[in-house]
Amino acid sequence: MANVAFLGLGVMGYPMAAHLVKHGHNVTVYNRTHEKAKSWAMQHHGRIASSPKNAALGQDVVFICVGNDDDLRQVVTGEEGVIHGLSPNAIVVDHTTASADVARELACLLKANGNEFIDAPVSGGQAGAENGVLTVMAGGSSTAFAQVKPIIASYAKCAELMGEVGAGQLTKMVNQICIAGVVQGLAEGLHFAKSAGLDGIKVVEVISQGAAQSWQMDNRYQTMWQGKYDFGFAIDWMRKDLSIALAEARANGSQLPLTALVDQFYAELQLMGHQRSDTSSLLARLEKFRAS
């Protein structure tokens, strides 16, 4: 059992923090919107902190899951940030999908403060968080990771150390790059099936038994065929993630033509009003052009 704090109770953080309680840890939460923290505490019998600094006081591990680089910096280094409340040797684990640069920046600041930092973005979406079966890709010291891995297991089916600080974020970029291409391929396949007059459901039931099979196909083809796009990771968040990956690619010389193209397709969907639709709504863009 550990004393831990969890900062950020969004669609991912809310259930992740709950799993920590279920596994016997003493959990203190902080959320920018106090009412959400209050609701979580009433439901899961945890403690609420008034600030990131107060949440960090006396904790063995501080988990963070916020929106972006700026949010993360503010939570860690702001006037009431985590860094001002950390105990010596406490570990900060960041589950935000952010840049590798901000991970390294914060790791240096925390190291000077006597603390370890692990960048540990997750994959598996809201369903994975709710069911406690996320995949965690981490960057940091092997010693610090060994300490937190049993705690992370409260909500993860897989947690692996990928290298030094920043490696977790870089691995998450690979994850998002791969997803972008797979979802576009599935959208085009279903679009083609519909244009050709095929029964898309039957088509996928057959081809999913072969080399075309993917998680996206298994979990999204039916809702895509029905034109329903309220199941999972929103376009606004995917574009944030892809912008991080594309910026890193420019820095390291990678060529990501498909990723850049799909990012522009998502930009078009945002203009169509699909900001909060899930990433499988790439099919909606194709259907719009088919109808016009």
How high is the pLDDT of residue 232? Answer: 80
Contacts 24+ apart (CB under 8 A), 131-136: 132/15, 132/19, 132/156, 132/157, 133/157, 134/16, 134/158, 135/159, 136/95, 136/160, 136/168
- CATH 1.10.1040.10 domain residues, the chain: 170-291
Distance CA 121, CA 170 (A): 9
Torsion angle of the four alpha carbons 48, 52, 54, 57, in this order, in degrees rounded to the nearest 10: 110
pLDDT, tens digit (0-9, with 9 covering 90-100), for 116-129: 999 999 999 899 99
Six-digit token string for 191: 């679009």
pLDDT for 275 beyond 90: yes
Share of the chain above pLDDT 90, in %: 95
Q: What would the CATH number be for the domain defined by 3-164?
A: 3.40.50.720
Which residue is it, tokens 């609420």? 48
Distance of CA 56 to the CA centre of its chain: 22
CA 21 distance to own-chain centroid: 21
**What element of type H or E holds 15?**
helix 13-22
Query: What's the CA gap between 82 and 73, in Å, rounded?
Result: 10
Average confidence score pLDDT of the chain: 96
Strand residue runs (E) in 175-284:
none
Is 202 among the residues known to form the active site? no
125-164 confidence digits (pLDDT tens):
899 999 999 999 999 999 999 999 999 999 999 999 999 9
> CATH number of the domain at 170-291, out of 3.50.50.60, 3.30.1330.80, 3.40.50.1970, 1.10.1040.10?
1.10.1040.10
Distance, in Å, from the CA atom of 170 to the CA atom of 226, rounded to the nearest integer, reads 34
pLDDT digits (tens, 9 = 90+) for 9-67: 999 999 999 999 999 999 999 999 999 999 999 999 899 999 999 999 999 999 999 99
Look at the chain and count its residues.
Answer: 292
291 pLDDT above the threshold of 70 = no
Alpha carbons within 13 angstroms on the beta-carbon side of residue 176 total: 33
Tokens linked to 227: 């034109």
Percent residues over pLDDT 70 in the chain: 99
Q: pLDDT tier at 257 (50, 70, 90 boundaries)?
A: very high
pLDDT band at residue 202 under the 50/70/90 scheme = very high
Give the pLDDT of residue 88: 93
> What's the pTM value of the predicted model, to 2 decimals?
0.95
Q: Which amino acid is at 165?
A: V
Cβ burial 98-119 (10 Å sphere, 16+ → b, else e): bbbebbbbbbebbeeeebbbbb
pLDDT mean over 212-241: 95
CB contact at 8 A, 275 and 234: yes
Higher pLDDT, 45 or 262: 262
Return the closest-CA partner of residue 95 out of 160, 4, 12, 178.
12
- Looking at per-residue pLDDT, the higher value among 289 and 162 belongs to 162
User: Taking Cα atoms as reference points, which of 141, 3, 5 lies closest to residue 63?
Assistant: 5
Q: What is the pLDDT of residue 231?
A: 86
Rounded Cα distance between 61 and 166, Å, is 19
Q: What is the mean pLDDT of residues 158-183?
A: 98
Question: Could you tell me whether strands 122-123 and 134-139 are parallel, antiparallel, or unpaired per DSSP bridges?
Answer: antiparallel
The ranges of the chain annotated as CATH 3.40.50.720 are 3-164
Q: Residue 14: what pLDDT? A: 98
- CA contacts within 13 A on the Cβ side of 87: 13
- What's the CA gap between 134 and 127, in Å, rounded? 9
Please state the separation of Cα 207 from the chain's center in Å.
29
Residue position matching structure tokens 């939460």: 29
pLDDT on residue 292: 62
Residue 244 has pLDDT above 90, yes or no: yes
Options 38, 149, 157, 172, the catalytic residue: 172
